[in-house]
Amino acid sequence: MSRRREEFQPLKNDYVRIYDCGPTVYDYAHIGNLWRYLASDFLRRILEYNGYRVKQVMNITDVGHLTEDDLLAADTGEDKMEVAARREKKTPLQVAAYYTKAYFRDRRALNILDPHVVPKATEHIGEMIKIIQGLEKRGYAYHLPDRICYDVKKFKNYGRLSGTNLGQLRVGARLEPIKGKKNPYDFSLWILDPHHLMKWNSPWGVGYPGWHIECSAMSMKYLGPQLDIHSGGEDNIFPHHENEIAQSEAYTGKRFVHYWFHVRHNLVDGQKMSKSKGNFYRLADLEKRGYEPLAYRYLALTNHYRKPLNFTFSALAAAQKALQKMRLLVWQWRQETEPAQKLSRTAHRWQQKFLAAINNDVGTPQGLSIAWQVISSNLPVAEKLALVLDFDRVFGLKLGEWRLQVPPEIKKLAQEREKWRREGEYQKADQLRIELAKKGWEVQDRPRGPLLLPRLPTAG
C-alpha cells in the first residue's frame, strides 16, 4: 500500500493472519495460477521459519460470477460456473467439487502447504448478506432495479491501493457495465436474477452475490476484521482488492489489511500464456513430458515474486537437474552421517546469511544460492546436511524424504561384484565395476557395505 519496503510487524505478537484469494473452480489451474500460490507458500514458510504462528485462509470461489473477460466482451457476460456446468452436463456444485479436487492435487504435488481453513463462497451467502445489509445501513449502498450497488464516492480512500482516481477513468479499467450506476467505479453487491442457475433468497429478492463480497465475508469470519497479509495475483489489485477494502473498511470502520502481497504473472517464452497461442500448460502437461512437479517448484524458487516468472522448458530442465543434484547429495550425506545437532560458529553464520536473504522481501533466489554455497563450502558433511535440511523448511523440496531408487539389474551387478571382491577375485570385480560405470553408476566401498550412486547431473 505504501509502495515502499517496510519492516514486517504483525498486529498481534507472533501471530500472522493471512488471507489468500483462492481459485475460481470452473476449470483446471494452469502453471501461472500455480506460480502465484507457490509464491504465497514461500511467504508462509518464511514466516514460519522465523517462528511466527501463521493462520492461512484461502477461499474457493464456487459462486459463479461475471469475470473481467466476460465484461470486456459484452454487457451480459456469461457466468463461468454456469458455462462450465452446461459444458460438462453437471450442476455448478459438481463442477466446483471436481475442479477443487484437481486444484488441490496440483498444490500437493507442488508441496504447497494446505491453508488452515478453506471456506467455500456458496456456504457463506448468509455472511455476505449481513455485510451488504450493514453497508446499506451505513449509507454505502444504493438500489437499482436489478441490483444493490456499492457507492464508491462515499468511501474516501477508494483507489488508494491501485492508484485509481475517481475523477478520471483508469486506462484499461475493466468495470461492470451497470445501467444507472452513479459512478463508473460503483460495483455490484447483490444481483437480482431469478433465472440464474445459482441463486439464493435475500432481503432484496432472489439472486446472487457480486464478485468481491465473498472475500470480505470469509476473511472476516475466519480471521477477524483485520488481516496482517492479504495475497493475490497482480491482476487482483484492481478492481477486486480495491473493492474488498472499500466494503470491509466501510463495514468495520477498521483498516482491513496491513500488508498486501501481490505476485507478478507468469510468461511462457517471454509471452503471455494463452490457449490460442498453444503455450498454455497445466502441471499435468509438464508431468507428461517427464518433469516432476517439484522441478517446477524449484524453478519458482529461482524467481522473485515481484518479477514475472518466465517459463521455458530449458529453464525447467535446468531446474530438474539442479533439484536432482541437490537431493542426491543430501541422500549421499545421509548415508554417511546424521545431521549435526549443534552448529559451529561458521555454520551458524551461514544460517544467519540465509535468514537475512529470505527475510529481504521473500528473497528465495538468494536463499537458494546460499544453499549451493553451503553445499560447495568446506564445512563438515554433518553440518552441511543440517543446514540444507533446515533451509528446505522454506524451499519445500522434500530433500530429506527422497530415496535413491536403484534399478534391480544394477543392484544385481553390484551384488555380483561384491561377491567376487570378497572372494579375492579382484579382476572379475573390476570388470563389473567398469560395466556399472558404463551404465552410469558408481560403486563406492564403504564400511557398511558398497554404496551405489548414479552419475551426478552437471547442473547446479
What is the contact surface with Zn ion in residues (CB under 5 A)?
21, 215
CB of 187 to Zn ion, least distance (A): 13
Give the whole-angstrom CA distance, residue 315 versus residue 271.
15
Element (H, E) at 391: helix 381-395
The residue among 245 and 330 lying less far from Zn ion, judged by its C-beta, is 245
Compute CA distances 95 → 33, 62, 67, 117, 391, whole Å: 18, 9, 17, 21, 39
CB of 116 to Zn ion, least distance (A): 17
Give the whole-angstrom CA distance, residue 260 versus residue 161.
9
The residue among 60 and 443 lying less far from Zn ion, judged by its C-beta, is 60
- Which cell goes with 424? 579375492
CB of 81 to Zn ion, least distance (A): 16
CB of 367 to Zn ion, least distance (A): 28
Helix (H, G, I), strand (E, B) or coil at 202: coil
Tell which residue, 225, 255, 228, has the closest CA to residue 17: 228
CB of 210 to Zn ion, least distance (A): 12
The residue among 215 and 318 lying less far from Zn ion, judged by its C-beta, is 215
CB of 217 to Zn ion, least distance (A): 10
Exposure string for 4-31, b = 16+ CB within 10 A, e = fewer = eeeebebeeeeebbbbbbbbbbbbbbbb
Give the whole-angstrom CA distance, residue 293 versus residue 38.
12
Strands (E), 72-194: 141-144, 147-150, 187-192
435-439 contacts at long range (C-beta below 8 A, 24 or more positions apart): 436/410, 439/410, 439/413
Tell which residue, 381, 392, 398, has the closest CA to residue 351: 392
CB of 196 to Zn ion, least distance (A): 21
- Which cell goes with 331? 541422500
The residue among 59 and 303 lying less far from Zn ion, judged by its C-beta, is 59
CB of 220 to Zn ion, least distance (A): 12
Compute CA distances 123 → 13, 37, 175, 199, 217, whole Å: 31, 23, 27, 12, 11
The residue among 119 and 207 lying less far from Zn ion, judged by its C-beta, is 119
Name the DSSP class of 245: H
The residue among 257 and 358 lying less far from Zn ion, judged by its C-beta, is 257
DSSP string, 300-364: HHTS-TTS-EEE-HHHHHHHHHHHHHHHHHHHHHHHH-PPPSS--HHHHHHHHHHHHHHHTTT-H
The residue among 244 and 392 lying less far from Zn ion, judged by its C-beta, is 244
The residue among 109 and 237 lying less far from Zn ion, judged by its C-beta, is 237
CB of 215 to Zn ion, least distance (A): 3
The residue among 21 and 39 lying less far from Zn ion, judged by its C-beta, is 21
Helix (H, G, I), strand (E, B) or coil at 233: strand
- Which cell goes with 431? 570388470
CB of 216 to Zn ion, least distance (A): 9
The residue among 241 and 417 lying less far from Zn ion, judged by its C-beta, is 241
CB of 252 to Zn ion, least distance (A): 17
Q: Tell me the one-letter amino acid at 207.
A: G
Q: Give the chain's end-to-end CA distance (angstroms, integer).
A: 37
The residue among 21 and 43 lying less far from Zn ion, judged by its C-beta, is 21
